[in-house]
Chains A and B, each alone.
Chain A
Amino acid sequence: MNNDFENKLSALTPTSKSINRDALFFELGKQQKKPNRQVSAFLAGAIAASFPWFFLTQVQSQKIETSPSPSEPTVVLLEPAKSEPYSLLEYRKVFEATNDLPSLHYVEASTQVETLSDIQKEFSLYHQ
């Protein structure tokens, strides 16, 4: 008897306004930033191919792979200056410009990346 009652009660779905997941994911990206990186062992994101300006302005040295389809995300390596952590302001710019966080995928490289081949291997795990 109690079981049936419990089941019916627990079947009720709590209602709520959603929390701000974008802010949460942004914070997660900040935490994953590794300021003391050699070649961007930390990174990054998948950024819609429809924002080539970002690619051109922010990804200076290594292009990993660009998607042929504008609807698919492009994985890019964010390459900060050697002595400085990557500017979070740049992330914020992207967020504000795209307003499409689901297209951004934070990825943390687990190993030190030294070569382009390393990077490609690392990011191929995440590329969609």
Chain B
Amino acid sequence: MKLEELQRFLEQHEKCLILYARQWCNTPEDVVQEALMDLVRKQLDPMQNTAWVYTVVRNKAVSVARRSTKQKPMVGQDCEPWFEPNTGDAIDANAAQLHLQELDEPIREVLVLKLWSGLSFEEIAPLAQCSKSEAHRRYQQGLELLRKKMGLL
């Protein structure tokens, strides 16, 4: 692995990975840090192993959430903003976060992976532990639910 490859990967995926980890735990940066350290130690090409990194992040985030005795691993309790304040005619970031948090986890996971990480349904399916068609169905359902919740129907 070369430094430039790692930097390029970070530019593209760092924030998305943290958002993904945030779906389960309240220490997403730590989880992503550990996963990327694993990647470096194994000397894997980051761009060729994107799905692997997401899998490791997911496993670690779920594990952290399970170990947590202070609170349930529920995203609604995470007070950190998920998105940068928006500009122009973009969707309201706070509203988007609020309504995303209200969605069921399996649906929300697919939305996050598709919309912000840019993964294909083929890549999402093993992560979400479902078939490719089921991932697609969850995505469409999630979009519809979000649109309704945000009053955009």
Q: Which chain B residue lies CB-closest to A20?
A: B33
Q: What sequence of 0s and 1s flags, for each residue 27-62 of chain B, a beta carbon within 8 Å of any chain A beta carbon?
A: 011001100110011010000000000000000000
A19 & B33 in contact (Cβ 8 Å cutoff)? yes
The answer to whether B147 has its CB under 8 Å from any CB of chain A is yes
Q: How far is the CA of A108 from the CA of B90 in the complex (A)?
A: 44
Q: Which chain A residue lies CB-closest to B91?
A: A8
Most B-side CB within 10 Å, residue of A14, A21, A23, A24: A14
The answer to whether B16 has its CB under 8 Å from any CB of chain A is yes
Could you say which residues of chain A place their CB within 8 Å of the CB of B115?
Answer: 6, 9-10
Residues of B within 8 Å of A, CB-based: how many?
Answer: 38
With A8-B91, A9-B146 in contact, is A23–B14 under 8 Å at CB? no
A16 & B28 in contact (Cβ 8 Å cutoff)? yes
Q: How far is the CA of A21 from the CA of B91 in the complex (A)?
A: 31
A and B contact pairs by CB, cutoff 8 A, 28 listed: A2-B147, A5-B152, A8-B89, A9-B91, A9-B96, A9-B111, A10-B115, A11-B90, A11-B91, A12-B86, A12-B90, A13-B15, A13-B84, A14-B16, A14-B83, A14-B116, A15-B81, A15-B82, A16-B28, A19-B14, A19-B29, A20-B33, A24-B6, A24-B36, A27-B37, A28-B6, A28-B40, A31-B43
The answer to whether B74 has its CB under 8 Å from any CB of chain A is no
Q: How far is the CA of A94 from the CA of B41 in the complex (A)?
A: 21
The answer to whether A115 has its CB under 8 Å from any CB of chain B is no
Q: How far is the CA of A74 from the CA of B146 in the complex (A)?
A: 53
Could you say which residues of chain A place their CB within 8 Å of the CB of B29?
Answer: 16-19
B15 & A16 in contact (Cβ 8 Å cutoff)? yes
The answer to whether A25 has its CB under 8 Å from any CB of chain B is yes
B90 & A24 in contact (Cβ 8 Å cutoff)? no
B residues within 8 Å of A by Cβ? 1-3, 6, 10, 14-16, 18-19, 28-29, 32-33, 36-37, 40-41, 43, 80-84, 86, 89-91, 93, 96, 111, 115-116, 140, 143, 146-147, 152
Q: Which chain B residue lies CB-closest to A11?
A: B90
The answer to whether A42 has its CB under 8 Å from any CB of chain B is no
**Size band of the A side of the interface?**
20 to 34
The answer to whether A105 has its CB under 8 Å from any CB of chain B is yes
Could you say which residues of chain A place their CB within 8 Å of the CB of B83?
Answer: 12-15
Q: Which chain A residue lies CB-closest to B31?
A: A19
Could you say which residues of chain A place their CB within 8 Å of the CB of B80?
Answer: 15
Could you say which residues of chain B place their CB within 8 Å of the CB of A16?
Answer: 14-15, 18-19, 28-29
